[in-house]
Chains A and B, each alone.
Chain A
Amino acid sequence: DTGVSQDPRHKITKRGQNVTFRCDPISEHNRLYWYRQTLGQGPEFLTYFQNEAQLEKSRLLSDRFSAERPKGSFSTLEIQRTEQGDSAMYLCASTGDGNTIYFGEGSWLTVV
């Protein structure tokens, strides 16, 4: 069990550029979550997948954000036309038994 893996861990991008984050959940975990966390705040729910199906999206997930999990394994979170307000840590999490949700180390995004 290698845990939830996220890549890249840190990303600095210029405003207006697109960025993509990847999440590899724990093997055979069928549910995968994305959260966003800004400094001094708790994680905010963005979206989650059951296998390859995206079951819920938060209103925080604007049209510039898109998440996919094409084969029900890894997931990507893409942010188009980044804005400074997108600067945050993006956390991925997964669960297999539905009782314990495991989080990755997060991907830090800085938009300059």
Chain B
Amino acid sequence: AQSVTQPDIHITVSEGASLELRCNYSYGATPYLFWYVQSPGQGLQLLLKYFSGDTLVQGIKGFEAEFKRSQSSFNLRKPSVHWSDAAEYFCAVGAGSSSASKIIFGSGTRLSIRP
């Protein structure tokens, strides 16, 4: 069965520092991969997605992610974080025969920013 693991429950970084959030997935075929961000009490906003092609994907708000098939990973990165980046981040994998099938989420990584 498809699954997503986000090994870091909570990460704190200093404002201006670089960020990497880890994500590992389990899926038999080529996965559809997503990163979503959620502010407290809010819905989820799509940061970026990978379906095929270039394994380095650019997203909104200066985020990028790299798909590494050999490591079953899809880590999210940002070169310099801003205080407004503090939120919960969810990695997700598309499960099913098409990209519009249900997506399975990881348990999330809470990002805190140190002033």
A contact set with B: CB distance below 8 Å: 4, 31, 33, 35, 40-45, 48, 56, 91, 93, 95, 97-106, 108
Cα of A48 to Cα of B103 in the assembled complex, Å = 11
Cα of A93 to Cα of B104 in the assembled complex, Å = 13
Q: List 27 A-B contacts (CB under 8 A).
A: A31-B100, A35-B105, A41-B108, A42-B4, A42-B92, A42-B105, A42-B107, A42-B108, A43-B44, A43-B105, A44-B105, A45-B103, A45-B104, A91-B44, A95-B100, A97-B100, A98-B98, A98-B100, A99-B51, A99-B99, A101-B34, A102-B46, A103-B44, A103-B45, A105-B42, A106-B41, A106-B42
Measured CB to CB, the nearest residue on chain A to B100 is A98
Cα of A48 to Cα of B100 in the assembled complex, Å = 10
Cα of A105 to Cα of B42 in the assembled complex, Å = 5
Shortest C-beta distance, A78 to chain B (Å), equals 20
Among A33, A44, A48, A101, residue most surrounded by chain B Cβ atoms (within 10 Å)? A101
B residues near A33, Cβ cutoff 8 Å: 102
Beyond A42-B4, A48-B102, 20 extra complex contacts between A and B, CB < 8 Å? A31-B100, A33-B102, A40-B107, A40-B108, A41-B108, A42-B106, A42-B107, A43-B105, A44-B105, A45-B102, A98-B99, A98-B100, A99-B49, A99-B99, A99-B100, A101-B100, A102-B46, A103-B44, A104-B43, A106-B41
Measured CB to CB, the nearest residue on chain A to B36 is A103
B contact set with A: CB distance below 8 Å: 4, 34, 36, 41-46, 49, 51, 90, 92, 98-100, 102-108
Cα of A97 to Cα of B98 in the assembled complex, Å = 11
A residues near B34, Cβ cutoff 8 Å: 101
